[in-house]
Amino acid sequence: MPTTRPFFDSEHGPIYTFNNRRRTLPEAFDDAYFRHMQWAHFASGGAGGGLRWPYRQPHDRLITRRGTRRAPRSQSGQLTLPGLAPGSYIVHIWDTAAGTTLGQLSLLVTTKPLRIDLPTVREDLALAIVPAEAAPSDLV
């Protein structure tokens, strides 16, 4: 790994509550906590996602969810992103839980912040915002 690249090494999960009290966290809270930690690792620019200590059997998140809990409520929203230079942008949108692309938007930034109406999803979104003239077609 280049020495200039950020490195974020951590462990996360209900370590204290399990080791000291033999309790696990509620599944919905634990799943949300895991997702938030993964996004924090991603946003740090470092490599990897940290060591996960789920203390659940089986340890596979998708297996434990199958038939054991209701689907999360779908949500939509709006993202306001200040600081982009005026110009045309392409926004590529992915549903990270489903592993599918949700499409792309062509947006124009003037003097105001970029506002993106986000589609309805169950869990997480990933966005790639690129200048229209530099938008690689292989993102979708």
Domain boundaries, the chain: 11-65, 75-139
pTM for the model stands at 0.51
Residue 130 reports pLDDT greater than 80: yes
Helix/strand/coil for 113: coil
Tens-digit pLDDT profile for residues 33-58: 888 887 777 777 666 666 777 666 55
With 0-12 / 13-18 / 19 or more C-beta atoms within 10 angstroms meaning exposed / middle / buried, residue 37 is middle
pLDDT of residue 5: 62
Mind listing the pLDDT tens digit for each residue in 55-112?
665 555 555 555 555 656 677 788 888 888 899 999 999 888 778 898 999 999 987 8
